Amino acid sequence: MTHKDLVRRFFDELFNQGDLSCADDIAAPVYTEHAVAPFGLAAPGPVAGPAHLRETAEWLRTQFPDIRMSIESIVEEGGLVAVRVQSEGTNTGSLNGVLPPTGRRFSAAQSHWFRVEEGRLAEHWATREDLPAMIQLGVIQPPGPPRPTQTR
């Protein structure tokens, strides 16, 4: 299995299919998470890899049961894999565990970097379009004059 295959499993099996058992195969026992969750204040840092991946997937899929993360491009060099993803979903669960579901959809670009060590994901960085996603979900209003309400 290539490093790119490992990252594809991260998105396809863990998030798109909700197969939490794959976390045991793809994550290193110690996994360093540099990505800050939406509305978070700091990255978690070193965590128990498989458990962290399962918790993250459950957290996201609870908010967006139809989440779909589509890989648009992927590059591997040495032990690093960079991937550009389009993430889409409908918010039908409690948003971030504190806000009622909006029932609205979002579509946002993301970039993810992974470091692979001994055939498992060992480190992760992410840059996401959280602000446009929150505007699409109606959680945050864009600056400027009021805009008509969108319905879908």
List, for residues 66-91, the tens digit of each pLDDT value. 999 999 999 999 999 999 999 999 99
Average pLDDT over residues 1-10: 96
pLDDT band of residue 151 (cuts 50, 70, 90) is: low
CA dist 101 → 94, 96, 138 (Å): 5, 10, 10
pTM strictly above 0.85: yes
Q: Which residues of 20-44 are buried (b: 16+ CB within 10 A; e: fewer)?
A: bebbeebbbeebbbebebeeeeeee
Q: Which domains does the chain have, with CATH numbers?
A: 3-136 (3.10.450.50)
Helix (H), strand (E) at residue 24 = helix 23-26
